[in-house]
Copies of this chain bind each other. A is one copy, B any other.
Amino acid sequence: MFAECLEHVRKKSPLIHNITNYVTVNDVANAELACGASPIMADEPDEVEDIQTICDGLNINIGTLNKRTVGSMHIAGERALALHHTLLLDPVGAGASRLRTQTAVELADSLQFDVIRGNMSEIKALTTGSSTTKGVDADAADAVTDENLDSMAEFAKKCAAAFHTIVSITGAIDLVADPQRCFVIRNGRPEMSRITGTGCQLSGIMTAYVAANRDNALAAAAAAVVLMGASGEVGWSHMQEGDGNATYRNRIIDAICNMDGKTLDSMAVYEIR
């Protein structure tokens, strides 16, 4: 199943428009290229409609937002919706400042995203900061564990229902949910948290995966999570003495670049709840 999603990305090579932070933007571009997609970055209000028009998807990441680029996010998002392009939100740092929380909430309220992807704290900030009509009971703690997995999966489904979208909550255990089903994925390595930008890369890749698999969006989003985690495992297996987080960063993107569908399916560790 995941193999098919991967092959569609490699065959269709979707063009992804990224309005993303300047910290990890280079890795996002190389990760999208590695998975078979083509990236373009553009954040000026005057051009984002034109750019989105020629693309297949839009990846909005609020990591280093400013007033100019927040405006661009809304303009480009409206255009993506009008053209039925794939639309993903990565609410980086929602909860860390009022501006981020508010921006994430306004984007989620005004644009119909195909996927919202973040860590548990960001997704909780998004849901609790939201207007009460979309209120989600976010009493879950921040880490998904075997002990709280049932309630966390339920929380992910409720978020998905509240925002009429797919919600992907990533951490040690990753969740990818629509209102009915939740993929629980156990790929990846704890050392990935010592690298900046694996989440941003995943959002870029996920946009490409959903764009190339519109009829199978939930599985495609899950496939992107499996790809990132499995590539983290493959990359780790290539680490040598003296290597650290900078080399690991490269090894993960390398593994994305070399991944094939058969390996992806064989490495996937997941269940559906």
Contacts and interface: CB of A to CB of B under 8 A. Distances in A.
Ordered nearest first, which 3 A-B pairs have the shortest CB separation?
Answer: A244-B257, A244-B254, A50-B97
Contact of A33 (B25, B97, B245): B245
A129 interface: no
A196 B29 CA distance: 6
A1 interface: no
30 contacts: A21-B41, A22-B41, A23-B25, A23-B26, A26-B27, A26-B197, A30-B195, A30-B245, A30-B246, A33-B195, A34-B194, A34-B245, A39-B196, A40-B96, A41-B64, A44-B64, A44-B65, A44-B67, A54-B96, A234-B242, A242-B255, A243-B254, A244-B253, A244-B254, A244-B255, A246-B250, A246-B251, A246-B253, A246-B254, A246-B257
Interface in A186-240: 194-197, 234, 238
A157 interface: no
B244 A258 contact: yes
A83 to B, nearest CB: 15
A179 interface: no
Given A25-B22, A195-B33, A250-B250, A46 B242 contact: no
Contacts of A21: 41
A93 interface: yes
Interface string A1-37: 0000000000000000000011111110110011000
B242 A258 contact: yes
Contact of A64 (B42, B67, B257): B42
A99 B44 contact: yes
A259 to B, nearest CB: 9
Contacts of A25: 22-23
